[in-house]
Amino acid sequence: MEHRMQLQDKPFQLIKQKTKTIEVRLHDEKRQQVTGNDIIIFTNIDKPQETLKVKVMETVEFPSFQALFNQYSNIEVGADEDAQLSQKLAAIYQIYNQRDELEHGVLAISIRLIK
């Protein structure tokens, strides 16, 4: 199955450079459809003409962003190498709210860039 998602420029570029290998999303209705071997087409929000195609290697559910961030390295999730947990949580809560996190849980999508 093929999915379409949008990304801000920084995580988009990190996936393009093959350093960010875990995409972090709410495990909402749309993301519940994502499974291993699916394809995701990411569109760069800042440069809509830029897209990336990735293969989903696996998906792992977590009850919270904190649990997810404790499982993966900063590099894997696209955070600065020296970012603290509190900084990663502050950044993700600018995108998602805690009520949705509690309602849906979160999803780590392991991805690999394909050409």
CATH number at residue 57: 2.30.130.30
Mean pLDDT of 44-54: 97
The CA distance from 81 to 100, in Å, is 27
Per-residue pLDDT reduced to its tens digit, 60-102: 999 999 999 999 999 999 999 999 999 999 999 999 999 999 9
Number of domains the chain contains: 1
The CA distance from 76 to 103, in Å, is 25
Range of the domain at 41: 2-114
- For residue 36, how many other CB atoms are within 10 A of its CB? 11
Chain position carrying tokens 């894997």: 76
pLDDT of 55: 98
pLDDT of 115: 80
**Chain centre to alpha carbon of residue 113:** 13
List residues bridging with 44 in a β-sheet. Answer: 7
pLDDT of 45: 96
